[in-house]
């Protein structure tokens, strides 16, 4: 098989275009700005006074479930959007709430009245809303400013940002059925959990599916819609037409980033189905598990870099790539950083897709599963260094092993491991999955300070183990599944699979801490400035030492005040760190783990930091419905 990097190069003018975006004090998208830097130039809250932060207001949506009643559990990963002098929130019951940014008072609410069923996910999920406004809004005319909300049953709602009323001129009286385009392997709806990316008059829309369930699934597509009317402008398919019927996904379920001056939208494309066996998709799928740059107006691919060849590990990129202008060896480079589950940070020129620091193809091990093929090499970045060491099995945590009466040692001895790309196996207890599908960098992505050219990323060190089961055997032993753990059928493939956390009978991690870290990287050199454990692991009411850190979901925000704001940790705290040193400067306890990015905004001359405390059962059985907004006294 040909394992070369795929490039599609269109001529374009070279320009440095992201710095100007980064300096604006806006937080009107999922990642703060279209460049996904999660950066605010505001300085009212800074190193000298952040320890005085206090809760300015809080709001409880009421849209929460722990799964013990009639409703599935909620997973709430929304970033608050500040626009139109309003804070807009999307909820996991598929409502929009518009709040006064200074007081938390309701301006209006909108209820989509969607069916509250976990159609494609293990829980009710929402990652917020998107906002659009006309270049020259006409006073007194409806829907010159629009808020968009997607639902799990594949409907996109457009409502007037001032009133909360449906926009009659958008699609069918304000509602677009995206599932009308679900015409291949229609096994589940094209769930709209991530808000669309808004650029100009375009809504760029991806979708989420049902992970690990089927070999044949809806094939990955991205849609561009007219923001005013919902009319379809273009569609991009990521799987070659000749094999779409027997595979699927390779979709974009997470956020995207945009360089409007280059006219490019950057798509983090997921892995094809089934995730852990690829005998049905042995042909090249060059856009799968990639970052792909696409012309906003036409939907044409400009360039693409594949980060995992013939992905058998569900190592899809989980966050929008962060766009940044950096100076390397005296040369100004329009760069892009793609964080991954593997703990790799790939850095390329965002105009061409070419390496900033060398990315090497290195040999990886092959397996012996029937019908499978194996990539001979995989891409490895030379800088920045991997966020975690994937070369050998993690060391066993002695305390978990002792209290488990040697259980951890026996488990690790029974698992094969030959580095990160150890192939899935049917043998023994399976293969050690490190980093795991739930580890590395999740959808919070990388934050970037354009002044010091510093990248900030949080990462989880999670160890799991994976086994393939022949179909007949799987049908006999398959048990329950949860959120990223348990048994999954991969229907249509000859193998089902199981994925479990590597823990002892007490639930203690078998691998050595830290379990999560916050890392600062100098983007002039690609070297690490500092790294430190983040958060505190907590279980059964007990808190572990802070040096052990916590698994994290949710990303950081950085400010010109020299600060990093982040939730993300198991202990349900929100924190502020020094951008320069990594020292923790402030914290507060909220209702549940903040598995969303914070929002930093200024309203009527005052700076605020807003967190959504929604929780996610991947890291802890604790959910919430709280919006907690902080300011100086």
3-state secondary structure of 177: strand
Alpha-carbon distance of 269 to 619, in angstroms, equals 24
> How many residues are recorded in the chain?
633
DSSP summary character for residue 21: H
Q: Which residues of 82-119 are buried (b: 16+ CB within 10 A; e: fewer)?
A: bbbebbbbbbbbbbbbbbebbebeebbebebebebebb
Helix (H, G, I), strand (E, B) or coil at 209: coil
Local structure of residue 73 (DSSP, 8 states): P
pLDDT at 540: 57
**586 close to 576: Cβ distance less than 8 angstroms:** yes
Taking a C-beta distance cutoff of 8 angstroms, is the pair 328, 347 a contact?
no
CB 387 within 8 A of CB 459: yes
Using the Cα atoms of residue 573, residue 574, residue 578 and residue 581 in order, give the sign of their dihedral.
positive
Interacting residues of 119 by C-beta distance below 8 A, sequence separation 6+: 152, 153, 188, 189, 191
Cα(306)–Cα(456) distance, rounded to whole angstroms? 23
pLDDT at 359 exceeding the cut of 90: yes
Per-residue pLDDT reduced to its tens digit, 159-207: 999 999 999 999 999 999 999 999 999 999 999 999 999 999 999 999 9
Q: Give the model confidence (pLDDT) of 487-524 as tens digits.
A: 999 999 999 999 999 999 998 999 999 999 999 999 99
pLDDT at 438: 82
Closest of 568, 616, 501, 597 to residue 122, by C-alpha: 616
Mean pLDDT of 302-307: 98
CB 271 within 8 A of CB 375: no
Q: Give me the mean pLDDT over the 249-274 stretch.
A: 97
**What percent of the chain stands above pLDDT 70?**
95
What's the pLDDT at 15?
A: 40
Reading the block at residue 176, the tokens are 């677009």
Consecutive H or E run containing 522: strand 516-522
Give the number of other CB atoms < 10 A from CB of residue 25. 16
Question: How many angstroms separate the CA atoms of 407 and 508, rounded?
Answer: 11
Q: Give the active site residues.
A: 314
- Residue 603: band (very low, low, confident or very high) from pLDDT cuts 50, 70, 90: very high
The pLDDT value given to residue 6: 42
> pLDDT tens, 524-580?
999 999 999 999 987 656 678 889 999 999 999 999 999 999 999 999 999 999 999
Interval 51-69: pLDDT, tens: 999 999 999 999 999 999 9
**Mean per-residue pLDDT over the chain, rounded:** 93
What band does 21 get if pLDDT is binned at 50, 70 and 90?
very low
> How far is 183 from 179, CA to CA, in rounded Å?
8
User: Quick one: average pLDDT of 118-140?
Assistant: 94
Q: Whole-angstrom Cα distance, residue 466 to residue 476?
A: 18
Are the C-beta atoms of 258 and 264 separated by less than 8 Å?
yes
Q: Cis omega before residue 384 (within 30°)?
A: yes
Q: Is 285 exposed, middle or buried (0-12, 13-18, 19+ CB in 10 A)?
A: buried
What is the sign of the dihedral through the CA atoms of 21, 22, 27 and 29? positive
Comparison of pLDDT for 389 and 117, the residue scoring more: 117
pLDDT at 17: 45
As a whole number of angstroms, the distance between CA 582 and CA 47 comes to 12
Between 435 and 599, where is the model more confident? 599
Three-class DSSP category at 134: coil
pLDDT score of 324: 98
pLDDT, one tens digit per residue, over 406-423 is 999 999 999 999 999 999
Report residue 231 as tokens.
Answer: 């009319």
* 161, two tokens: 């940002």
Strand partners, 563: 559, 578
Q: Are 179 and 170 in contact (CB under 8 A)?
A: no
């Amino acid at each position: 098989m040909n394992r070369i990097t795929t490039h599609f190069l269109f001529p374009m003018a070279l320009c440095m275009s992201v710095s100007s975006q980064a300096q604006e004090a806006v937080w009107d998208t999922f990642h703060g700005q279209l460049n996904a830097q999660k950066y605010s130039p505001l300085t009212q809250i800074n190193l000298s006074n952040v320890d005085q932060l206090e809760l300015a207001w809080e709001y409880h949506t009421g849209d929460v479930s722990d799964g013990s009643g009639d409703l599935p559990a909620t997973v709430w990963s929304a970033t608050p959007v500040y626009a139109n002098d309003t804070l807009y929130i999307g909820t996991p019951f598929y409502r929009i709430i518009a709040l006064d940014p200074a007081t938390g008072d309701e301006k209006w609410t909108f209820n989509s009245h969607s069916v509250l069923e976990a159609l494609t996910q293990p829980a009710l999920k929402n990652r917020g809303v998107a906002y659009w406004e006309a270049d020259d809004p006409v006073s007194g005319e409806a829907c010159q400013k629009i808020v968009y909300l997607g639902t799990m049953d594949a409907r996109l709602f457009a409502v007037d940002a001032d009133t909360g009323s449906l926009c009659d001129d958008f699609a069918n009286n304000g509602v677009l059925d995206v599932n009308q385009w679900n015409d291949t392997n229609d096994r589940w709806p094209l769930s709209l959990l991530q808000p669309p990316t808004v650029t100009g008059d375009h809504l760029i829309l991806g979708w989420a599916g049902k992970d690990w369930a089927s070999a044949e699934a809806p094939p990955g597509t991205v849609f561009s819609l007219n923001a005013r009317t919902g009319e379809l402008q273009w569609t991009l398919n990521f799987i070659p037409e000749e094999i779409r019927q027997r595979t699927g996904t390779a979709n974009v379920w997470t956020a995207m980033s945009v360089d409007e001056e280059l006219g490019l939208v950057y798509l983090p494309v997921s892995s094809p189905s089934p995730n852990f066996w690829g005998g049905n998709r042995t042909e090249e799928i060059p856009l799968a598990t990639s970052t792909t740059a696409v012309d906003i107006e036409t939907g044409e691919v400009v360039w693409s870099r594949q980060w995992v060849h013939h992905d058998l590990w569900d190592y899809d990129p989980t966050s929008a790539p962060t766009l940044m202008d950096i100076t390397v060896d005296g040369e100004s480079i329009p760069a892009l950083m793609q964080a991954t589950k593997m703990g790799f940070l790939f850095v390329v020129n965002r105009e061409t897709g070419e390496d900033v620091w060398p990315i090497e193809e290195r040999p990886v091990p092959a397996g012996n599963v029937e019908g499978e093929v194996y990539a001979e090499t995989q891409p490895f970045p030379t800088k920045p260094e991997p966020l975690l060491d994937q070369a050998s099995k993690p060391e066993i945590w002695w305390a978990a092993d002792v209290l488990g009466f040697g259980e951890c040692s026996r488990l690790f001895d029974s698992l094969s491991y030959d580095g990160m790309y150890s192939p899935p196996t049917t043998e023994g207890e399976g293969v050690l999955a490190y980093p795991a599908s739930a580890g590395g960098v999740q959808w919070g992505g990388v934050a970037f300070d354009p002044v010091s050219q510093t990248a900030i990323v949080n990462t989880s060190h999670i160890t799991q183990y994976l086994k393939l089961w022949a179909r007949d055997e799987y049908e006999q032993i398959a048990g329950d599944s949860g959120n990223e753990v348990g048994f999954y059928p991969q229907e249509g493939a000859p193998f089902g699979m199981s994925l479990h956390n590597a823990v002892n009978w007490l639930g203690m991690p078998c691998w050595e801490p830290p379990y999560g870290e916050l890392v600062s990287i100098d983007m002039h050199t690609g070297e690490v400035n500092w790294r430190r454990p983040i958060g505190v692991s907590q279980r059964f009411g007990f808190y572990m030492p802070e040096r052990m850190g916590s698994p994290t979901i949710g990303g950081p925000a950085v400010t010109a005040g020299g600060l990093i704001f982040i939730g993300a940790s198991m202990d349900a705290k929100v924190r502020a760190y020094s951008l320069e040193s990594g020292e923790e400067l402030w914290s507060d306890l909220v209702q549940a783990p903040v598995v969303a990015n914070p929002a930093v905004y200024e309203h009527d001359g005052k700076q605020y930091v807003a967190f959504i405390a929604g929780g996610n059962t991947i890291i802890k059985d604790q959910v919430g419905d709280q919006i907690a907004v902080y300011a100086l006294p």
